[in-house]
Structure 1
């Protein structure tokens, strides 16, 4: 039996909690007319194994390319390695030695966290959960993440995001360097991770793109950007 309803009656946090406590296996779809977007989350025994939004699809190929960890040659090499039928791209990349299992899982974990965080910010829309065998759903790679830990992290991020949103309105914001007046020039005293972000600012990449290029979580990059803006 499907579990469905409007988000104004049952928020996404409560939906996730319900699926976690009842150890559900299946697919959750969340749609938002206001955003013209749709989220898709796969659960297995109450754990999250995949999450994506239509506007920013979670694909292991896309994630690794953004992080500079995957080239066309790497893709060709991975696909050339004989593999059992149904083996996902992520597992093929690990099998071919292109990326380690640990690194692949780290990137996937960050991507899923970002999706859940975004879905938790949706206040309007409609959700629908259908029980199904997740083995029937083709996904790049499989990872099991505690739903409870995702909800706790999501709640923490929402609280913190409310603090930084006045200076960093969204992940699609494109940071740029402010002009420096000669009489106000000074030496920058930044931490290594702040220098990393600063060096990626080119007036073209948005915060989401910078996060992908550095292989860091989008929320972490937003926090660093907030710190840079605050300190001037």
Structure 2
């Protein structure tokens, strides 16, 4: 019987120790939820030693420690999984000690930590205070991503620091008076995120076509939007760009945009409103 179960009953340190004792080679596949979002990660072992981890776009070591903070989830050990090269050199013992420390610190930080969907903006700083601000490189990395649009989850992923370290820094920046929570309307966030995908694939002219599609479906960037409106706007956008890039490429791009919209609305809300 394969090693499998639930993280609420069998912790990650237990899993690592068991794989270590049995000197197994393979990968632990973990599926859980973090901040209301489904997450899927992998921890890779060679002869019982952790060699790498995957979670979104996080670096291997940060991906590993972020998986420690999952409150619950399912796992299964898969023998014969394709292994990446060794990217984590710390011993299993050191990994477990640091992972447990992160869990303990996360528990105390959670009361102050913003939710994954929180958006921060910069606070105007009087000129005489600027000279007093001394930030570490990681803090600057996070601060440059605070733009009134990126959510905490976006910053955690794009900075490569993970949710734990990102929240630590954001709490510090907020207490230092450098950032503040920023109210973002759903229409604005949808346009920014879907527009980013469109521009990355088609260039800046795609934003104009998307804006027109939003307008034709009555989506106000300063107001709310429904899943049905967003799906209809994406269909209008697809027909527009199909003339430029062909139906197949247009469909693939819009499918990616709809997946992002589903993430923003939440799977339950989106699936309950949109017909597949």
Q: TM-score range by the shorter chain?
A: 0.5 to 0.7
* Larger RCO, structures 1/2 (Cα 8 Å, 6+ apart): 1
**Alignment match, 1:32:** 32
Match of residue 49 from structure 1? 51
TM-score computed with the length of structure 2 as normaliser: 0.51
Determine the structure 2 residue equivalent to 1:116: 64
The answer for the alignment partner of 2:129 in structure 1 is 187
2:168 matched residue in structure 1: 223
Cα deviation for residue 187 of structure 1 reads 0.9
- Once the two structures are superposed, what CA deviation does each residue of 1:52-80 show, in whole Å capped at 9, x if it has no partner? 23xx255xxxxxxxxxxxxxxxxxxxxxx
SS at match of 1:14: helix
Going from structure 1 to structure 2, the CA distance change for 1:203 and 1:13 (only over 3 Å counts) comes to same
Say if 1:219 and 1:15 are closer, same or farther in 2 by CA, change over 3 A.
same
Name the stretch that deviates more: 150-159 or 123-132. 123-132
Cα shift at 1:152: 1.8
Per-residue deviation, residues 89-133 of structure 1 (Å, max 9, x unmatched)? xxxxxxxxxxxxxxxxxxxxxx2233223322233332211333x
Q: 2:98 aligns with which of 147, 153, 160?
A: 153
* 1:213, distance to aligned residue in structure 2 (A): 5.7
Q: Which residue of 2 aligns with 1:11?
A: 11
Between Structure 1 and Structure 2, the one with more helix by share is 2
Q: Which has the larger radius of gyration?
A: 2
2-side partners of 1:158 and 1:115: how far apart? 14
Q: Distance in 2 between matches of 1:166 and 1:8?
A: 21
- Give TM-score, length-normalised by structure 1: 0.59
Contact 2:113 2:167 in 1 (8 A): yes
On the 8 A contact 1:167/1:229 being kept in 2, the answer is no
CA–CA separation in structure 2 for the residues paired with 1:212 and 1:219: 11
Matched, 1:21 2:26: no
Q: Secondary structure at the match of 2:122?
A: coil
What is the aligned residue count?
171
> Residue in 2 aligned with 1:98?
none
Unaligned runs of 5+ in 2: 178-276
The CA distance in 2 between the partners of 1:13 and 1:118, in whole Å, is 13
1:113·1:154 contact (CA, 8 Å) conserved in 2?
Answer: no
Matched, 1:198 2:143: yes
Kept in 1, the 8 Å contact 2:28–2:78? The answer is yes
CA RMSD in angstroms comes to: 3.2
Return 5+ residue gaps in structure 1 as ranges.
59-110
Counterpart CA distance in 1 for 2:142 and 2:40 is 30
Is the Cα–Cα contact under 8 Å of residues 32 and 124 in structure 1 kept in the other structure?
Answer: yes
**Kindly tell me: are residues 192 and 153 of structure 1, through their superposed partners in 2, closer, same or farther at Cα, counting changes over 3 Å?**
same
Q: Which moved more, 1:115-124 or 1:214-223?
A: 214-223
Aligned with 1:191: secondary structure? coil
Greater shift, 11-20 or 193-202, is seen at 193-202
Question: Within 5 Å, which residues of 2 pair with 1:63-74?
Answer: none
